[in-house]
Structure 1
Amino acid sequence: MRIHHLNCGCMCPVGGALFDGFSRGLTAHLVCHCLLIETNQELVLIDTGFGLRDVQTPYSRLSPFFVHFNNIQFERKYTAVEQIKQLGFSPQDIRHIILTHLDFDHAGGLEDFPEATVHVMQSEMAAARARRGFIASRRYRPHQWDEVKQWQYYGAGGEPWFGFEAVRDLDKLPPEILLIPLVGHTPGHAGVAINTAEGWLLHAGDAYFYRQEMDPANPRCTPGLRAYQWMMDVDRPARLLNQQRLRRLSLDHRNDVQLFCSHDAVELEAFVDH
Structure 2
Amino acid sequence: MTPWEVFAVKYADRNARTRKDSFLFDDNHDQPHDMDYFLWVLRQRDEIVLVDTGYDMEEGERRGRPVRLNPAEALAPLGLSPDDITTVIVTHLHYDHAGGLKHFPNATIHLQAAEMAYATGPCMCHGTLNAPFTADHVCEAVQRLYSGRVVFHEGGGEVREGVTVHRTGGHSKGLQVVRVLTEAGWLCLASDASHYYENFLEAKPFPIVVDLDDMLRGFKTIQALASSKDLVVPGHDPLVRQLFPVHGPDHIVRLDRGPLKGIGS
CA distance in 2, matches of 1:18, 1:140: 17
The Cα offsets for residues 233-267 of structure 1, whole Å up to 9 and x where unpaired, read as 111112112224445666xx428x71111111102
- The 3 A distance-change label for structure 1 pair 195 and 247 is closer
- The 3 A distance-change label for structure 1 pair 138 and 214 is closer
CA distance in 2, matches of 1:191, 1:18: 22
- Partner AA of 2:168 in structure 1: L
Could you tell me whether the CA contact under 8 Å between 2:49 and 2:89 is conserved in 1?
yes
Could you tell me whether the CA contact under 8 Å between 2:93 and 2:138 is conserved in 1?
no
| Corresponding residue for residue 101 of structure 1 | 92
> How big is the shift at 1:28?
3.8
TM-score by length of 1: 0.74
| Corresponding residue for residue 118 of structure 2 | 127
> Any stretches of 5+ residues in structure 1 without a counterpart?
60-66, 157-165
The Cα offsets for residues 109-138 of structure 1, whole Å up to 9 and x where unpaired, read as 111111111111010011111223112322
Could you tell me whether the CA contact under 8 Å between 1:12 and 1:73 is conserved in 2?
no
Query: Residue 6 of structure 1 aligns to a residue in which SS?
Result: strand
- Partner AA of 1:126 in structure 2: A
- The 3 A distance-change label for structure 1 pair 109 and 101 is same
| Corresponding residue for residue 48 of structure 2 | 43
| Corresponding residue for residue 254 of structure 1 | 228
TM-score by length of 2: 0.76
- The 3 A distance-change label for structure 1 pair 101 and 260 is same
Could you tell me whether the CA contact under 8 Å between 2:170 and 2:212 is conserved in 1?
yes
- Partner AA of 2:54 in structure 1: G
| Corresponding residue for residue 137 of structure 1 | 130
> How big is the shift at 1:26?
8.2
**Aligned residue pairs: how many?**
231
CA distance in 2, matches of 1:115, 1:268: 30
CA distance in 2, matches of 1:2, 1:209: 22
Which structure ranks higher in relative contact order (CA pairs < 8 Å, sequence separation ≥ 6)?
A: 2
Matches within 5 A, 1:55-204: 55=60, 58-59=61-62, 67=63, 72-75=65-68, 77=69, 79-130=70-121, 131-147=124-140, 149=144, 150-156=149-155, 166-168=156-158, 170=159, 174-204=160-190
- Partner AA of 2:14 in structure 1: M
> Any stretches of 5+ residues in structure 2 without a counterpart?
247-259, 261-265
| Corresponding residue for residue 159 of structure 1 | none
Aligned-residue identity in percent: 23
Could you tell me whether the CA contact under 8 Å between 2:194 and 2:234 is conserved in 1?
yes
> How big is the shift at 1:145?
4.7
CA distance in 1, matches of 2:215, 2:17: 25
Could you tell me whether the CA contact under 8 Å between 1:81 and 1:91 is conserved in 2?
yes
